[in-house]
Amino acid sequence: LVELTDWSVDRIGQLFWWREASEAFGCVCSAWPSAIRLFLFTDAISGITMAPPTRCKPFFSLLASYFIFFVCFFFATTTTTDAKRSPAQLCKTTSAQISCGQCIKQHPDCAWCADPNYDSVSRCEQFESLIQKCRREYVEHPTNQIDFPQNAEIGSTRRDPHSGANVRTQLQPQQVSLAIKPGETVSFSLRYWHQDRDTRDIYVLNSETDSLGVSIEYEAECRGIVQPGNHCSSVSQSDTVMFNVSVRLKECRSSGGSVISVGIGGVREVVALYINPICSCDCERLNSQVHISPQCENRGSLVCGACVCLPGSAGSRCECNVASGTVSAIELLNQCRQSPSDPPCSGRGQCHCGSCTCDSPEIYSGKYCQCDDTSCPSSGTELCSGHGRCECGICKCESGWSGSACDCPTDDMHCIAKNGLVCAGHGSCECGECVCRDKYSGPTCEHCADCEDEFSDHDDDDYLRMLTDHNNGDGNGNQVDGSVISEPIAKDAPAAAASSLSANAALLVLHILLFSLVNRRLTLLPTAASWLGSIF
């Protein structure tokens, strides 16, 4: 993190003004330990160490913060992608299927099936998996090899190629030949015999390796103690020092071989290290290819069991005509993949010249056979509840129905209460059922168990009828129990009756108004008006 941030500071200083950017980073890193901050504010250009700023500039602080975030994000996403992939995944990538050489470059465990009759779409797979599908004699899986063309014992006499004099051998072996696959390491032991009389520190050195895609690491055994590194201290005359040399081929920079010199500082004798990268397969050699092969419809060459088609042809057997250029079989196969990681035709059909033919058209559909027309939600035993059709896992509902399973009516007829309102005006209709608000309940929200009014459980017409009976008597001219006027109304007293009727009507209106306001039943007002009309 410190090195990456220091690199970011250096780049910011070159793109903007160094001191301004450094102040910005000081704001970002002000909470870091002082030693790290001191390291960060060492000017990579001038070498001047600057103290962290005491005052931040908001613009540069924000700019620097975003820059650090995106730099870290870029490195995190670009350098760990392959590291997260398993060998099996690396062997099945698109590039691994191009050729045998490309296959073995992906990972040391990758192998190629060169059988011309191999019917799998993936010729490159992990070795352990491939040998179960491909006949062993057709499996191309080259291994590392090490050989010692010259390996004379130390202390033995040999002729110096430069002076022609006989000299004692100080390094063993003298020549090493390595065949290495990309990503693998081969090790060997290098022995040094100290012939000089003086006691000194010795270092094993080698010629340049970076341009060859090779790295070399050393481990020294000095006086019985093994330690990493390329040196051994206080070596006396006739002492023997052992070095373990680990050679790693990082990548294929060249298909040809190269030579690296390894020796001891101050000693003329060197070891010749021949590096032969394994970047291709034996079956790719010209004498192993079948040109214009009948297995390729005479429109291509058979190389390592796979057809390499002539321009204008493509396909696993060069059976497909293409308009222009050369399209490989793997490129046609990729046209049948919805995404690079998906199997061709989603594993539900056959890919022919870049187009999918689904195995069961009544079940699978889509350009890549990616749609399962039997996977829609259902209510009961029918897909889409019998009110729609299933298309690529989604219900297309008929008119009058909605929902993921087409099981919800779009009208509100199932939610109409006795008063003619949806959910009695106390809820909403969702999927054919009332969802009541607050204290209301019932199929159409007509009940209110916690309402204070004694008539809240009755419908509106019953309530008005009860109010009328309560105020107008029992129909025979007499007041019922609980009425305001307890004495009977004389039939021969029309003036008194009219006065009593007016009082009862006023009381009725008051009851209706109070009930409507308290229970929010404003729909009672028109009904109350009609009742008053009949009374008067």
Residues 397 and 476 in one domain: no
- Our CA angle for 219, 224, 225, nearest 5°, is 50
Domains identified in the chain, total number: 5
Q: What is the pLDDT of residue 43?
A: 41
Q: What is the pLDDT of residue 191?
A: 95
Within-domain flag for 188: yes
SS3 at position 274: strand
Closest to 375 in 3D by CA, of 338, 366, 367? 366
Which of 27, 62, 79 is the last residue before a domain boundary?
A: 79
Name the residue range of residue 190's domain.
145-277
Within-domain flag for 340: no
Residues 215 and 163 in one domain: yes
Which of 277, 303, 323 is the last residue before a domain boundary?
A: 277
Q: Which of these ranges, 9-23, 296-310, 433-447, 461-475, has the smallest mean pLDDT? A: 9-23
Q: What is the pLDDT of residue 374?
A: 85
Residues 490 and 433 in one domain: no
Q: What is the pLDDT of residue 33?
A: 42
Residues 159 and 262 in one domain: yes
Within-domain flag for 346: no
User: What are the E-state strand segments in 92-136?
Assistant: 110-113, 124-126
Residue 300 phi, psi dihedral angles, 5° rounding: -175, 175
369-388, pLDDT tens digit by residue?
A: 999 888 888 777 788 888 88
Q: Which CATH number is 430's domain given? A: 2.10.25.10
Which of 246, 261, 277 is the last residue before a domain boundary?
A: 277
Residues 443 and 471 in one domain: no
Residues 155 and 212 in one domain: yes
pLDDT bracket for residue 19 (50, 70, 90): very low
Mean pLDDT along residues 417-437: 90
Residues 405 and 416 in one domain: no
Residues 416 and 514 in one domain: no
* Peptide bond between residue 53 and the one before it cis (omega within 30 degrees of 0): no
Residues 163 and 263 in one domain: yes
Residues 69 and 39 in one domain: yes
